[in-house]
Structure 1
Amino acid sequence: MNLRRNFLSILFFISAITISFSQVSKRSVEASRITNSPKIDGTLDDVIWNSLPKYGNFNMLDPGTEGDISKGYETEFQLAYDDKAVYVAVYLNDLDPDAIASQFSQRDDINVQADYIAIALNTYNDGINETRFGITSAGTIFDSKISINNEDLGYNVVFEGRMSKDAKGWYAEFKIPYRALRFPEIEVQDWSINLYRKMIHINETHSFAPIDNTKGKRTQYNASISGIRNINPPTRLTLFPFAQGVVSNFEGETETSISAGMDIKYGLSDSFTLDATLIPDFGQAAFDNVTLNLGPFEQTFSEQRQFFKEGTELFNKGRIFFSRRVGNRPSGPLEELGEHEVIDEFPKRVQLLNAIKVSGRTQENLGIGIFNAITERTFTAVRDSITGTIREVEVEPLTNYNIVVLDQQFNDNSSISLINTNVVRDGHFRDANVTAVVFDVSDKENTYNTSGRAIVSNVNLATGNQSGLRTELDIASTQGKFRYRVGHDFANTTFDINDLGLNRTNNYNNFVAGLSYEIFNPTKTFNKYRFQLTARHSRLYKPSVQTQNYINFNSFFVLPTRFAFGGNVSWDSKRDDYFEARVAGRFVSFPESVGGRVWISSDFRKKFALDSGLGCRVAFDDPQRQYYIDFSPRYRFSDKFNMILRSDFSLRNKNFGYVNIIDDEVILGQRNITSLENAITASYNFDPYKAINFRFRNFWTTVDYTENIFFELNEDGTRQLASYDTTDEDPNANFNIWNLDLSYTWRFAPGSEATLLYRNQIFNNDNESTVNYTESLGSLFDQEIQNTVSLRVTYFIDYNNLKTFLKKDS
């Protein structure tokens, strides 16, 4: 009854505040149909551009929307189309062309010192969805997908973009094929557009359509496009076959493997696309930032596999899809092991057999997404420690992962979504189903927003079904300098979405309130500044007891020189942690504390720049102290060569936490934790298509219990001194891991790429907790190094080009 009442309350609340909203934009442009397409080289000397109208009169956007654009920095563009693509030419004037920042980078990397122009196309003119295509002043192309409160930078399509420079400034030319867009199948298209120009050396960003930063979203201010009609796009079928060879050496043994597969994109209609990966191989995915996990929850990492990063904005609605679950570590043995049986090496992952995505949006703004993936049966060897007999045991059955999403957008600023995820494992093992309702609704004037989600989880266990509920509700003001928000988060004791999602905790009933103040136009002293105050009250749902109160104040400042600084200070009340004890119903009380951090970030336009921060946290009535510092200098040797170093160091003295459970007694230990992480990233870019990239990371931590102070956990969460023998299970730790990647990447044709990768990695984990960093490195290099060399080549094939080639050949 409670589940039903919560759902009905949320749905009633959504419908009660739904108010129609009209598009803000007043500007409009007309696209011209052409019969002869221009050559995309960035020079804009094609005859076709001489006959088309130009649109200009851009507006200030950043650091503020007030004021006029200085003479000599005007921007103009032209817009054309045919039955294959949309074409855009952009003229970017500059008074000092030699000062244009033009640092080289590779595709989608725009966090460099280079100007750029970005074209935002909304093929539904709905104020919500956009696809952005851009190019930097050094020739790097980039794209992304925009939806409500989300920008999918992993979105990648094949389009053409080129640029050139002369004494007046620089120029950009684009060909955006219809295979890169989704739009309704109607005679007269209703699209909208905006253009964003960023200029590093004068620290300004301009937009074609004027935008009010104090309210609404930028996607709501686009200019409308007229004139696009009767387009008959070609078949949208593209193939990405790949081949990969790997040679790996570890502990004197060399392994060689060769694999091949294919990714496919097929336009089921002008609005819907099928993405599939057949016999995938993710051997060149970036390494994970592994650390020593002392907490009660699993250690998780961000997605590195391209198929699961690209075009997933629909599937991430409701945040109940954690893609690393697919092909992750096996769930565990399907049968109990014998008394003397052990597993020497548990599989690290399950092989993904194939995966597909179907997604798109109808003319009525209904987004539909379907995801399906299959992983293969996985076995491991089980050894009898007495007889030495070895047998195979299944640790993961054939498994199907499925997601269905319906996302209805309305009023040009709101949406409501229904998402269902389903995991079915072959045989009677563990199946799971999760359903979520998600909403994000704003009023007509964009002054208020309410958002939230309601999630019901169902897990089919051998002992029966288990259902759970989680709800979230946030109400916020979204206009003006002063803004506020209030929210509530709830989860019952049986909420569990971890088969295809990620939730670390359940059983909570939390309340939050926040207040902020920020400026949207620069003052004489500051380009921007913002203050935020957040208060949170945390409770258990069952039993209904307080677990913690929390207050945080945060500040952020940016000077006209692009020097930024800020900081935060927070107070934590006594916290009763019901997870650290690892026993249901038991909790560990952590003391009241206060802490904060200050940071600086210098002007990245200079060759040398620095990010750095310093923080601490002090406990009341307890010896716990935490100190941490991060230091990240960067140096740009030239527009082709850049290097960034990062070092994070922390000390947690007199810290205490879980050690073991002995005879139903929870043992805690006092420890000193020292951590150091060093990382280097460097790149040498020959041009926007070829680069050598270097990535290195070394993480070291020691956990030192040698003061031999241990406790037994009391029923009230306090602790009392106890003896603990570390002979059999020594909790002291010296953890050190080293990863290095060196790669050469060549994008030799649109959508086609070759990558040669060398990787080595070393790992050590022992009990020498009193060693220093140098001594720990010595122990690390005593371990065997795993060396891997791999070559991967991916080739882009457009079905239409292939069909034309075959006709000519015949």
Structure 2
Amino acid sequence: MPKIYPSFFLLLVFISFDTYSQKKTIQAKFSAENITIDGKINEEIWKTAPIATDFIMFEPDNGKPISESKKTEVKVLYDNNAVYVLAVLYDDEPNKISRELTNRDEFGVADVFSVSINGNNDGQQDFRFFVSAAGVQMDCLATEGGEDFNWDAIWDSEVKITDFGWVVEMKIPYAALRFSKEIKQTWGINFKRDILRGAIDQSYTWNFVDTKIGAVIVQAGILEGIENIKTPTRLFFIPYSSAYYQKDDFASDSTFKVGMDIKYGINDAFTLDAILVPDFGQTKFDKAILNLEPFEQQFDENRSFFTEATDLFSKGNLFYSRRIGGSPIKDIYTLQDELAANEEIINFPSTVDLINAVKISGRTEKGLGIGFLNAVTAKTEATILKTITNTSVDPITNSTATTTTETTREEVVQPLTNYNVFVLDQRFNQNSSVSFINTNTIRNVDFRDANVSALLFDLNTKKNAYKLSGDFKYSSIKDNDFYTLLNNGLENYNGFKTQLNFAKTSGKYRYMFSGKYLSENYDVNDLGIIFVNNYRSGYGEMTYRIINPTKTFNSLKINQNINVEIHNTTGKTQEAWYQAVFAAINKKNQIWEGKVQVSPFDRYNFYEPRVQGKYVFVPQSIVSYLYFASNDNKKFTIDIDGSIEKFNEEGRIIYMISPAISNRFSDKFSLSYNLIYTRRVNDRGWVGYVGDDVIFAERNREIVDHYFTGKYSITNKMSFNLVARYYWSYAENHEFFTLEDNGKLTTNSTYSENKNRNFNSWNFDFSYSWWFAPASEISVLYRNYAVESTNLVQKNMQTNLNNVFDTNLTSIFSVSLRYYIDYNSLKRKH
């Protein structure tokens, strides 16, 4: 076999190909006339604006022209404040246009029109604005890595249903976009129409997007004509006030907060976001679980500041924003180990207060993206009670007297902490980039500091047929206190991670090969999150997909992949599996997915023992998985998935089944219920220590997770929402083992400590939301929650449900008002 040298891959990246078929171009027309966004097309200037038409199917039958009965026409105007888009969407069955009312950024079952704008025309990032036939707005930042719907812009739209179809008018202020300072602007643009009806969902784009090519953004059309615009100052204030009343079985209190978010456009490309006196009291609740794994539970980010416009900060996966304002760095167990025999913890904070946060992000006209984020969290203390007993003897009566003195002290569990993220991301050739990321955590007093840097590259051929990507990441930890013992006694230690990937990203047949190496002391957990290090791995994947529908399928994808991970220190296999996956949508618009995963070799887990240098044997296993989803366009839908994992160990097996049902009673009202049930038979895991011995248990586990949601939308800006979750899980041990040095378990007949676990969690949110003006909202929330955790296993669900409600049930009623103020409107009033 001939050798393939690295230079071949570098050469491949820069091979010149013919460009795509000629891109469509539309001219934007300047309007001196005031445009009213009402969907009525009353303005004369709309009649003379150029038309974008002749849409082409994106999915499922890629390349098929749109029918005359669904003809779509789009026009674009502009002035010094905004871009205006008018779409006339013809439909020969206007009474069948899908238009479910949903919350903002939720598509539901509704026809949708959207515009994607790339102000730099660099093929790298779109600002996408969607409007459903029900008038609901959705928006996102889009890269080839995906769509970020956490980003919310401030724009205006209106929809009218007519006897010939429907009409959309949109006003997109320049403040919602990013573009160069050029006198004559050239933007990338595409329009998309989604039709949800019957058994086939259809999508059409104005400029043809070839699904044989992996990249979509580079296949946009061109918008010309915008020139000599004088954009207004981008300065917005969003003051808020909120009031909370909280009550539990022991006490009640009231809280009132005021604060402000500030958004300032440094120029047309860069934006500063700041929060003063943050308030996250109405964010979604975390889905707590019974976590018996050696790793922390990873939570979703629900705070808008850390979810909006964070695409730059997410590069390299080094930023886990829940670190900021999350749990204290010194946990309750570490603190307990430091206490004297006569001391106890009487108050331990679950979270750390965020003092303030600011971020600056944007991209120059030469494609250089710059991002900076800074956040400061408060000094946080636990309260320690110390009990001193004194005994004195009366010299006359010879009697003894005992007195007890109690004192309290505060122990710092999280010092004043400063978090920083800095990103440079240079894009070039419309589809390639090189990035530098640095994260830095500085803690006051004798707590550890951390610094992590990374260099990433993503190189694609001009036709996006092949990709070469990779990274090099380096972590440096300065540890001064209690973490020292947890890290081999190292006060300062460094680590690194590197990865290289090569992939074919176009056509029916695609493949990808990847290799990576993580050193033993690679650690990004101060501002990022990582569970496993100290291994090297190889991964290979081959994929087949149909490009156009067949007699049976609208879409079909078959994937095979192999993954092998080897522990660096011991050379033992950490993971090794082969996987075959298929995913298909049939002619009834039903989704079918399946997977078989075989782990044919014995493996070793280096983390479950919770002791450095220890590992536990994991036997061979096989997993089978199946998923079905009915046609979402129907009022009643059902999804169900299930899996079975069988280990090569007597009686050890994992079952999972998850049915979900949803009923759309009307376009305004819907209810859904989802159950996830898992049973782990003869599961084996860590439970504790006896001296230097690590104790494992064989146990049975059940996990039941109920999730119920309801929605009633009064209008496209006003709705009631209900979310309820009940989670119950137990772990019942029936045999104990001692972990041997070779990773095997031997029976321990003397260990008798009760390590069973029974965990219940209840969450209930009922809310009302009214977006009474752009970016301005009144929200009312009633929330109650409770958690119960014991070592007494109860296997009756009704008993567990009663128990969690008999615990300290906390109820919160809150009202929040946010109001958007545009500096320009204030200036005009004066």
In structure 1, what is the equivalent of residue 442 of structure 2?
Answer: 424
Amino acid in structure 1 at the alignment position of 2:156: E
Q: SS where residue 799 of structure 2 aligns?
A: helix
In structure 1, what is the equivalent of residue 88 of structure 2?
Answer: 91
- Alpha-carbon spacing, 1:69–1:148, altered in 2? closer, same or farther (3 Å): closer
Instruction: State the TM-score, normalizing by the size of structure 2.
Output: 0.93
In structure 1, what is the equivalent of residue 746 of structure 2?
Answer: 720
CA contact (8 A) 2:573 2:602 kept: no
- Alpha-carbon spacing, 1:773–1:199, altered in 2? closer, same or farther (3 Å): same
Q: SS where residue 607 of structure 2 aligns?
A: coil
Deviation at 1:547, TM superposition (A): 2.4
Deviation at 1:544, TM superposition (A): 2.5
Residue pairs, 1:28-67, within 5 angstroms: 28-67=25-64
Unpaired runs of at least 5, structure 2? 389-404, 481-489
Structure 1 residues 757-786: Cα deviation after superposition (integer angstroms, max 9, x where no partner): 000001111122242212211222221210
Deviation at 1:19, TM superposition (A): 5.0
In structure 2, what is the equivalent of residue 240 of structure 1?
Answer: 238
CA contact (8 A) 2:379 2:416 kept: yes
Q: 2: distance between equivalents of 1:643 and 1:474? A: 43
In structure 2, what is the equivalent of residue 346 of structure 1?
Answer: 348
Residue 520 of structure 1 pairs with residue 565 of structure 2: no
CA contact (8 A) 1:134 1:161 kept: no
CA contact (8 A) 1:189 1:228 kept: yes
Deviation at 1:18, TM superposition (A): 4.3
Residue pairs, 1:584-623, within 5 angstroms: 584-623=612-651
CA contact (8 A) 1:552 1:568 kept: yes
CA contact (8 A) 2:26 2:51 kept: no
Residue pairs, 1:246-257, within 5 angstroms: 246-257=244-255
Instruction: Report how many aligned residue pairs link the two structures.
Output: 793
In structure 2, what is the equivalent of residue 75 of structure 1?
Answer: 72
Residue 632 of structure 1 pairs with residue 660 of structure 2: yes
CA contact (8 A) 1:704 1:770 kept: no
CA contact (8 A) 1:591 1:622 kept: no
What is the aligned counterpart of 1:746 among 770, 779, 784? Answer: 770
Q: SS where residue 268 of structure 2 aligns?
A: coil
CA contact (8 A) 1:714 1:720 kept: yes
Deviation at 1:15, TM superposition (A): 8.4
CA contact (8 A) 2:562 2:578 kept: yes
Instruction: State the TM-score, normalizing by the size of structure 1.
Output: 0.96
CA contact (8 A) 1:710 1:723 kept: yes
CA contact (8 A) 1:19 1:411 kept: no
Deviation at 1:489, TM superposition (A): 2.0
Of the structure 1 ranges 537-546 and 744-753, higher mean CA displacement relative to structure 2 is found in 537-546
What is the aligned counterpart of 2:527 among 500, 522, 542? Answer: 500
Q: 1: distance between equivalents of 2:12 and 2:164? A: 55
Q: 1: distance between equivalents of 2:72 and 2:622? A: 51
Residue 561 of structure 1 pairs with residue 601 of structure 2: no
Deviation at 1:302, TM superposition (A): 0.8
- Alpha-carbon spacing, 1:426–1:16, altered in 2? closer, same or farther (3 Å): farther
Of the structure 1 ranges 9-18 and 234-243, higher mean CA displacement relative to structure 2 is found in 9-18
CA contact (8 A) 2:140 2:149 kept: yes
What is the aligned counterpart of 2:177 among 172, 181, 184? Answer: 181
- Alpha-carbon spacing, 1:423–1:621, altered in 2? closer, same or farther (3 Å): closer
CA contact (8 A) 1:21 1:411 kept: no
CA contact (8 A) 1:441 1:450 kept: yes
Unpaired runs of at least 5, structure 1? 1-8
Deviation at 1:239, TM superposition (A): 0.7
CA contact (8 A) 2:538 2:564 kept: yes
Residue 163 of structure 1 pairs with residue 159 of structure 2: yes
CA contact (8 A) 1:23 1:221 kept: no
CA contact (8 A) 2:63 2:208 kept: no
Of the structure 1 ranges 477-486 and 459-468, higher mean CA displacement relative to structure 2 is found in 459-468
- Alpha-carbon spacing, 1:216–1:534, altered in 2? closer, same or farther (3 Å): closer
CA contact (8 A) 2:26 2:50 kept: no
Q: 2: distance between equivalents of 1:95 and 1:621? A: 62
Q: SS where residue 526 of structure 2 aligns?
A: coil
Residue 127 of structure 1 pairs with residue 123 of structure 2: yes
Deviation at 1:14, TM superposition (A): 6.2
- Alpha-carbon spacing, 1:414–1:241, altered in 2? closer, same or farther (3 Å): same
Residue 117 of structure 1 pairs with residue 113 of structure 2: yes
Amino acid in structure 2 at the alignment position of 1:685: S
CA contact (8 A) 1:14 1:439 kept: no
Q: 2: distance between equivalents of 1:738 and 1:280? A: 26
CA contact (8 A) 2:720 2:769 kept: yes
CA contact (8 A) 1:191 1:226 kept: yes
Of the structure 1 ranges 560-569 and 237-246, higher mean CA displacement relative to structure 2 is found in 560-569
Residue pairs, 1:437-452, within 5 angstroms: 437-452=455-470
Q: 2: distance between equivalents of 1:178 and 1:15? A: 40
Of the structure 1 ranges 237-246 and 768-777, higher mean CA displacement relative to structure 2 is found in 768-777
C-alpha RMSD over aligned residues: 1.7
Residue pairs, 1:384-463, within 5 angstroms: 384-386=386-388, 387-462=405-480
Residue pairs, 1:182-261, within 5 angstroms: 182-201=178-197, 203-261=201-259
Q: 2: distance between equivalents of 1:550 and 1:758? A: 47
Residue 324 of structure 1 pairs with residue 330 of structure 2: no
Amino acid in structure 1 at the alignment position of 2:37: I
In structure 2, what is the equivalent of residue 3 of structure 1?
Answer: none
- Alpha-carbon spacing, 1:337–1:228, altered in 2? closer, same or farther (3 Å): same
CA contact (8 A) 1:577 1:589 kept: yes
Amino acid in structure 2 at the alignment position of 1:746: W
In structure 2, what is the equivalent of residue 771 of structure 1?
Answer: 795
In structure 1, what is the equivalent of residue 725 of structure 2?
Answer: 697
Q: 2: distance between equivalents of 1:345 and 1:319? A: 34
CA contact (8 A) 1:21 1:412 kept: no
Amino acid in structure 2 at the alignment position of 1:151: E
Of the structure 1 ranges 307-316 and 211-220, higher mean CA displacement relative to structure 2 is found in 211-220
CA contact (8 A) 1:23 1:412 kept: no
CA contact (8 A) 2:259 2:278 kept: yes
In structure 2, what is the equivalent of residue 4 of structure 1?
Answer: none
Q: SS where residue 775 of structure 1 aligns?
A: helix
Residue 481 of structure 1 pairs with residue 508 of structure 2: yes
Residue pairs, 1:642-721, within 5 angstroms: 642-705=670-733, 707=734, 709-721=735-747
Q: 2: distance between equivalents of 1:328 and 1:583? A: 25
Q: 2: distance between equivalents of 1:752 and 1:364? A: 35
Q: 1: distance between equivalents of 2:818 and 2:731? A: 45
Q: SS where residue 171 of structure 2 aligns?
A: strand
Q: SS where residue 261 of structure 1 aligns?
A: strand
Residue 575 of structure 1 pairs with residue 603 of structure 2: yes
Deviation at 1:16, TM superposition (A): 7.7
The alignment-based identity, stated in percent, is 36
Q: SS where residue 347 of structure 2 aligns?
A: coil
In structure 2, what is the equivalent of residue 540 of structure 1?
Answer: 567
Deviation at 1:150, TM superposition (A): 2.8
Deviation at 1:687, TM superposition (A): 0.9
Structure 1 residues 439-458: Cα deviation after superposition (integer angstroms, max 9, x where no partner): 11111232111222211001
Amino acid in structure 2 at the alignment position of 1:638: S
What is the aligned counterpart of 1:383 among 377, 382, 385? Answer: 385
Of the structure 1 ranges 329-338 and 120-129, higher mean CA displacement relative to structure 2 is found in 329-338
Q: 2: distance between equivalents of 1:106 and 1:623? A: 47
Q: SS where residue 660 of structure 1 aligns?
A: strand
What is the aligned counterpart of 2:365 among 363, 366, 390? Answer: 363
Structure 1 residues 296-354: Cα deviation after superposition (integer angstroms, max 9, x where no partner): 01112010101100000001111100000011111128995434322233211111111
Amino acid in structure 1 at the alignment position of 2:479: L
- Alpha-carbon spacing, 1:261–1:318, altered in 2? closer, same or farther (3 Å): same
Q: 2: distance between equivalents of 1:648 and 1:606? A: 23
Amino acid in structure 2 at the alignment position of 1:452: G
Of the structure 1 ranges 336-345 and 142-151, higher mean CA displacement relative to structure 2 is found in 336-345
